[in-house]
A and B are shown apart, each in its own frame.
Chain A
């Protein structure tokens, strides 16, 4: 790059000014880029600093092993396990919806659909990805829960099943489009070789394309799970606000994110332990999603098949 600044100025428009302008803009643009680094530092600092206040009042052992979470009660208890349980239930539940449907959709789009169908189906599914989560939350509350109640009348207004199904629907496009990208990048030579051996289209799809694209497919699953863990508005609206460890998905549960919303709209005063628990839970959430995201990147790069 130094050669450019050394190059003689031929523009004849007052080189000194232009050179200075060049340096000036370089610094401006660099600082814009550094804002993203500051954001990351800010997130770490805010979460660690906020949690530090919390953990000077509450022991780590109590936080990670306690099974009761009543941070703003008169006699508070700070066991985060019920919140983690709620988050796990909705994550596993949504994965049960999104992974089979998303993968099958990806296989259809990549292997079977003709161009015309693809051209309408793909954008339609992308609309699902663009719908705000608050709208999904309303959908869970006003449509999915009443449908579940018709089959299981004991279902409460707020329940884990409805939230899980709708979070699952929300992350279908993520699984399907990322998996489809992975499948489409499998070269046709592999398919043709299998056809040449007499394989059927079904065999080619399931025994050649899917294994060859597996790293990309798994990476898409992990990213989708991370998305489900961080999902907030659907669970805040449809899953309820009682932190409890139960296997009955027709009951209310509370996720980490729903708890954060609950505290933020209540009037917990800044500086109280209940308020500080916001940052401890935020840190727990951030640690889970960050490690999943990094894991997904690692899977994708570690097991990527290189095709020329």
Chain B
């Protein structure tokens, strides 16, 4: 401390200078770290697009996969992802129907009907816990209950039910938020003229909350469409030569087909996997755009 009394001014400026440098280095490190995430995203997308270049053709979208990588070469039709696309669309449509019914129903109960008792808080805590269960465990549940227990077999319906249970917690929470955004004054106005809880829910709350519900549900479905592990456990086919034609039809889905191609040693198949990923990401992007458009169109704040 004796130096300070000898020359307080230079010591002071040195100290400030040192602190400034530390501050600048720290901001640099933090900004750099944030950029690592962005860079990873850019590299990932670039890698997939480069690998897919030239392989993503109309034929790829419209034809079934082939067994030999030779078929990928030349101008003759290559392997395609058609059955998996149809499988994924069926799967997501079914899952959408189930989750809309169950998720919105459960959220309405919790927000509009439920009394504040132990059962309600148990259900809420349980939903929070379910959201943290690994998706592969839901796959085991689907395998034991739907595929074997109900003897459905590894069919579309079993896959859709499994995905429904998987995304149900997210749909419920997002729907609850949408319902909560409807002001209580509107409910009370309806109660004031003698409406029942069901009438209030049906005629006042649901119409107002619908855009929010749709946005949350589409975002949850976009998570379901990329899920692979639960489908593997349920026993969905990695490769199907024909598209599914009914609820009880065996099926493949885009992530399953991508997994199959990516896991093969031949590099030709990796290009097919990359092309499949581009298709999957495009569909995800479109679903997210839909959700954003709905939110912007109906958001009262905008």
A229 shortest CB reach to chain B, Å: 7
CA A261 to CA B193, docked complex, whole Å: 58
Interface residues of B in 98-126 (CB under 8 A from A): 101-106, 108-110, 112-115, 122-123, 126
Which residues in B have their C-beta under 8 angstroms from that of A270?
Answer: 148
CA A297 to CA B54, docked complex, whole Å: 48
Residue of B nearest to A101 (CB): B33
Q: State which of B127-135, B210-218, B240-248 sits at the interface with chain A.
A: B127-135
Which of A107, A136, A233, A257: most chain B Cβ within 10 A? A233
Q: Does B137 contact A (CB under 8 A)?
A: yes
A-B contacts, 24 of them at CB < 8 A, read A9-B194, A11-B193, A21-B196, A22-B199, A30-B109, A32-B101, A32-B108, A33-B110, A33-B172, A34-B123, A36-B126, A39-B165, A46-B144, A112-B30, A127-B41, A131-B281, A134-B255, A141-B270, A142-B47, A172-B37, A200-B22, A257-B229, A261-B233, A289-B137
A280 shortest CB reach to chain B, Å: 11
Which residues in B have their C-beta under 8 angstroms from that of A203?
Answer: 19
A68 shortest CB reach to chain B, Å: 23
A112 in contact with B194 given A1-B115, A32-B101, A32-B109 (CB within 8 Å): no
Residue of B nearest to A44 (CB): B141
Q: Does A202 contact B (CB under 8 A)?
A: yes
Which residues in A have their C-beta under 8 angstroms from that of B69?
Answer: none
A26 in contact with B130 given A138-B274, A139-B48 (CB within 8 Å): no
On whether the beta carbons of B26 and A205 are closer than 8 Å, the reply is yes
On whether the beta carbons of A10 and B193 are closer than 8 Å, the reply is yes
Residues on B facing A (Cβ under 8 Å): 19-20, 22-23, 26-27, 29-34, 36-38, 40-41, 43-44, 47-48, 51, 101-106, 108-110, 112-115, 122-123, 126-130, 132-141, 143-145, 148, 165, 168-169, 172, 191, 193-199, 201, 222-223, 225-229, 232-233, 235, 238, 255, 258-259, 262-263, 270, 273-274, 277, 280-281, 284, 288
CA A290 to CA B128, docked complex, whole Å: 11
A93 shortest CB reach to chain B, Å: 15
Which residues in A have their C-beta under 8 angstroms from that of B270?
Answer: 138, 141-142
Interface residues of A in 262-300 (CB under 8 A from B): 264-265, 270, 278-279, 282, 285-286, 289-290, 293-294, 297
Which residues in A have their C-beta under 8 angstroms from that of B103?
Answer: 32
Which residues in A have their C-beta under 8 angstroms from that of B141?
Answer: 39, 42-43, 46
On whether the beta carbons of A143 and B47 are closer than 8 Å, the reply is yes
Residue of A nearest to B110 (CB): A33
Q: Which of A29, A112, A142 contacts B109 (CB 8 A)?
A: A29
A65 shortest CB reach to chain B, Å: 24
Bitwise interface map of A from 26 to 68 toward B, beta carbon under 8 Å scored 1, else 0: 1011111111110110110011011000000000000000000
On whether the beta carbons of A37 and B132 are closer than 8 Å, the reply is no
Which residues in A have their C-beta under 8 angstroms from that of B19?
Answer: 200, 202-203
Which of B193, B222, B225, B273: most chain A Cβ within 10 A? B273
On whether the beta carbons of B132 and A142 are closer than 8 Å, the reply is no
On whether the beta carbons of A223 and B132 are closer than 8 Å, the reply is yes
CA A173 to CA B37, docked complex, whole Å: 8
On whether the beta carbons of A36 and B47 are closer than 8 Å, the reply is no
A287 shortest CB reach to chain B, Å: 11
Which residues in B have their C-beta under 8 angstroms from that of A136?
Answer: 44
Q: Does A100 contact B (CB under 8 A)?
A: yes
Which residues in B have their C-beta under 8 angstroms from that of A124?
Answer: 37-38, 41
Which residues in B have their C-beta under 8 angstroms from that of A100?
Answer: 33
B258 shortest CB reach to chain A, Å: 5
CA A11 to CA B122, docked complex, whole Å: 35
Q: Which of B26, B32, B194, B262 contacts A202 (CB 8 A)?
A: B26
Which residues in A have their C-beta under 8 angstroms from that of B165?
Answer: 35, 39
Which residues in B have their C-beta under 8 angstroms from that of A112?
Answer: 27, 30-31
Q: Does A7 contact B (CB under 8 A)?
A: yes
On whether the beta carbons of B277 and A289 are closer than 8 Å, the reply is no
Q: Does A130 contact B (CB under 8 A)?
A: yes
Which residues in A have their C-beta under 8 angstroms from that of B138?
Answer: 43
Which residues in B have their C-beta under 8 angstroms from that of A141?
Answer: 262, 270
Q: Does A96 contact B (CB under 8 A)?
A: no
Q: Which 9 pairs across A and B sit closest by C-beta, in order of nearness?
A: A230-B134, A132-B226, A32-B105, A10-B194, A104-B33, A29-B109, A108-B30, A232-B229, A33-B106
On whether the beta carbons of B145 and A46 are closer than 8 Å, the reply is yes
Q: Which of A26, A121, A134, A201 contacts B23 (CB 8 A)?
A: A201
CA A132 to CA B225, docked complex, whole Å: 9
Which residues in B have their C-beta under 8 angstroms from that of A71?
Answer: none
Which residues in A have their C-beta under 8 angstroms from that of B225?
Answer: 132
A12 shortest CB reach to chain B, Å: 8
A129 shortest CB reach to chain B, Å: 10
CA A4 to CA B187, docked complex, whole Å: 13
